[in-house]
Amino acid sequence: MRLLIIRHGESEADILNVHEGRADFELTEVGQQQVILLSEWVNNHYKLDKIYSSSLKRATQTALLLGNKQQIEIEYEEDLMEWNNGLIAGLSREEAEEKYPIVNGLAPHDAVYEQESILDFRYRAEKILSKIISENPDGATIAIVSHGGMINKLYQSFLKLPFDTNAIFHCGDTSLHEWTIKDNKRHIVFSNCLEHLNKLCIKS
């Protein structure tokens, strides 16, 4: 099985410099162009059997452009949404810091400001990754469109790392990560590929 893990394109929150998380912003024009280039690159390199996507707008817009290129429908999964950041969603960095300062020393199962706990976030990644792997055949090529925080949790789950690991996996706009599962062995083929954006860099 081949899994293509894809982060959405640039969103309006990136321009506004606000906390995004569950705030439901759309792609910018640059983000849409990033996704068009991504879709062309993926179409030239892979034949997808299925696309799963977060139900947040920036991810659904990314998945739809990818799906249109491959002419396949999208399966939307709420468990692929970004970390639930509760009351700070959509707030500027300054306002969030003033109203809802960071609370250190929380137990892994605990949370503040109507947010999701670390354990709940990791469980959500474990659950959706297990579902996707179990319901698709060994030879399938599957795309998963999600968000930076969730992609990190999916990495931790895929590699069976502890929930409190300090390992961080970088995810740029429309970054592409290829994983494979063969003979019960899990491989990271490549991480944070942005080759498709070369055209955009040349144009800008």
Sequence ranges of the binding site for substrate: 58
Binding residues: 58
Radius of gyration of the chain (CA): 17
Please give the DSSP secondary-structure letter assigned to residue 72: -
Return the sign of the alpha-carbon dihedral for residues 131, 136, 138, 140: negative
Residue 8 annotated among the catalytic residues of the structure: yes
Do 112 and 85 form a contact (C-beta atoms < 8 A)?
no
Spatial strand order of the sheet with 50-53 comes to 74-76, 50-53, 141-146, 2-7, 176-182, 185-193
Q: Which of the following is catalytic: 10, 82, 116, 126?
A: 82
- Phi and psi at residue 33, to the nearest 5°: -65, -40
Residue 98 annotated among the catalytic residues of the structure: no
For residue 108, the tally of other CB atoms under 10 A from its CB is: 13
CA 67 to chain centre: 16
How far is 201 from 110, CA to CA, in rounded Å? Answer: 43
For the annotated catalytic residues, the residue numbers are 8, 82
